[in-house]
């Protein structure tokens, strides 16, 4: 299939992510309206537990596949490795539930979220395939359908049971249908029509997406492992305030903090949409040794992130209270100060996201875990210090500071990496 232009990819991805982010935000708002902050906190705790596990198990395969400008590894390697790692993530989440002593509704919520993330992980690797060939319209359509189905599925589950986990179970069913009827179907169709396809053997016999080529899978795992560690650490960094808010302030305050942070999460999804659209183009510019063009495109993205962050802070500062009262129950409005600082932390995270896409396009996977480890240490230390004293505001201060500490390092690595010659082993995982 012919790839779309960057403009069309950005348009499709932006549309898909706007609708998807809106669907997720609507699910959270419905939950906050129908359930008390403690039950909302259980949901947020479930996300905090399962998200780092699945991000780590995803091994960054979508980014590796999307930026594989030379198509050195067939899709079946990515698909098989993703299946194996997703199964392992499910087992690990089950172990956490048992060893962590979670029972009743909390255990059910964690388990339901783990299942939803398993389905999402399989769709995600197909998104990498669409992204690699600059056909983000296929990814956007999948996201739109998922978002349209998830809201009624969640509402039906909650109304029927009065609990969050049955609502999440409805989402699991809806997302599985999209995976089976859209993502898998379009992925197979796409590969069969592609000149790079590994699905059709000589004579026209179709192969399975599954491979038992252990050396090839290990090679891909070695290539992706630094990015897996980096993304896993980045997710863990993002969840640290949530763990410690639950520990120091209780699960109800965790639900309130998540309510403040969720609009930033929705907006960050839009930032990621632009980054996903531009990542293949950035990778191609680097593969073709065009450092000036690479840096020019990345600077445009960072400028967009900076402008969006400034607008976000102004909106929250001027209209934060009406926004909170419109979205949630009145008890959330007592924490307007935290909302403003969370918005500031979100603004910096926009810039960090674009910088992360730049490093991924440069294939500099090995350096990122060291940066993320530094950020985690800063974040954890500040959270232990600030949250008991300043509550939710302290958590926002810790998030903001951790990103500011490593942002200059990201900039320096991108500047150096964009000028260095490309090495073949960076593509082949040697």
Q: d(Cα 234, Cα 358) in Å, to the nearest integer?
A: 16
N-term to C-term CA, the chain: 30
Hey, what are 281's tokens? 């183009």
Inter-CA distances, 357 with 59, 205, 417, 424, Å: 15, 37, 13, 20
Residue 224's pLDDT is 85
pTM: 0.76
φ and ψ at residue 170, rounded to 5 degrees: -60, -40
User: Would you list the domain boundaries of the chain?
Assistant: 6-421+424-428
Q: What is the chain's pLDDT, residue by residue, as a tens digit (430 residues)?
A: 566 776 787 788 888 888 888 888 899 888 888 878 888 888 889 998 999 999 989 988 888 887 765 666 788 899 999 999 999 999 999 999 999 888 888 899 999 999 999 999 999 999 988 887 778 889 999 999 999 999 999 999 888 887 888 999 999 999 999 999 999 988 888 777 654 444 444 444 455 678 888 888 998 888 888 778 877 887 888 889 999 998 899 888 988 898 888 888 777 777 777 776 777 788 788 877 888 888 888 888 888 888 888 998 999 889 988 988 888 878 888 888 899 999 999 889 888 888 888 887 787 767 777 888 888 999 999 999 999 999 999 999 999 999 898 889 888 888 887 776 555 544 444 4
Are the beta carbons of 405 and 375 closer than 8 angstroms? yes
* Residue 284, C-beta contacts closer than 8 angstroms, at least 6 positions apart: 69
φ and ψ at residue 245, rounded to 5 degrees: -65, -45
Q: d(Cα 152, Cα 135) in Å, to the nearest integer?
A: 28
Q: d(Cα 416, Cα 414) in Å, to the nearest integer?
A: 5
């Amino acid at each position: 299939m012919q790839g779309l232009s960057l403009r069309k990819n950005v348009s499709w991805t932006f549309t898909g992510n706007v609708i998807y982010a809106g669907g997720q935000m609507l699910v959270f708002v419905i939950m906050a309206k129908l359930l008390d902050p403690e039950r909302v906190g259980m949901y947020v705790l479930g996300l905090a537990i399962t998200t780092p596990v699945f991000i780590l198990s995803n091994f960054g395969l979508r980014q590796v596949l999307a930026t594989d400008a030379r198509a050195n590894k067939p899709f079946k390697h990515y698909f098989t490795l993703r299946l194996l790692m997703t199964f392992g993530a499910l087992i690990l989440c089950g172990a956490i539930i048992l060893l962590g002593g979670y029972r009743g509704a909390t255990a059910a919520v964690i388990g339901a979220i783990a299942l939803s993330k398993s389905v999402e992980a399989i769709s995600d690797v197909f998104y990498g395939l669409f992204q690699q060939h600059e056909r983000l319209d296929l990814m956007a359509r999948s996201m739109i359908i998922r978002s349209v189905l998830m809201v009624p599925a969640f509402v039906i589950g909650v109304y029927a049971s009065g609990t969050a986990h049955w609502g999440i179970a409805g989402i699991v069913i809806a997302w599985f249908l999209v995976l089976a009827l859209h993502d898998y179907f379009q992925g197979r169709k796409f590969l069969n029509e592609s000149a790079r396809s590994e699905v059709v053997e000589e004579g026209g016999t179709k192969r399975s997406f599954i491979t038992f080529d252990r050396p090839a899978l290990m090679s891909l795992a070695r290539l992706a492992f630094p990015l897996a560690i980096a993304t896993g650490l980045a997710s863990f960094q993002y969840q640290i305030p949530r763990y410690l808010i639950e520990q120091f302030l209780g699960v109800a305050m965790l639900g309130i903090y998540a309510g403040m942070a969720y609009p930033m999460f929705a907006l960050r999804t839009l930032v990621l949409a632009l980054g996903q659209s531009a990542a293949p183009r950035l990778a191609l510019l680097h593969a073709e040794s065009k450092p000036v063009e690479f840096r020019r495109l990345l600077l445009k993205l960072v400028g967009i992130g900076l402008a969006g962050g400034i607008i976000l802070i102004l909106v929250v500062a001027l209209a934060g209270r009406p926004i909170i009262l419109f979205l949630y129950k009145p008890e959330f409005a007592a924490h307007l100060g935290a909302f403003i600082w969370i918005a500031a932390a979100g603004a910096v995270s926009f810039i960090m996201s674009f910088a992360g896409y730049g490093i991924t396009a440069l294939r500099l996977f090995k350096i990122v875990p060291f940066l993320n480890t530094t950020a985690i240490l800063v974040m954890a230390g500040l959270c232990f210090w600030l949250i008991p004293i300043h509550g939710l505001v302290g958590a926002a201060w810790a998030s903001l500071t951790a990103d500011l500490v490593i942002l200059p390092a990201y900039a320096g690595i991108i500047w150096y990496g964009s000028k260095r010659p490309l090495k073949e082993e960076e593509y082949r995982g040697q």
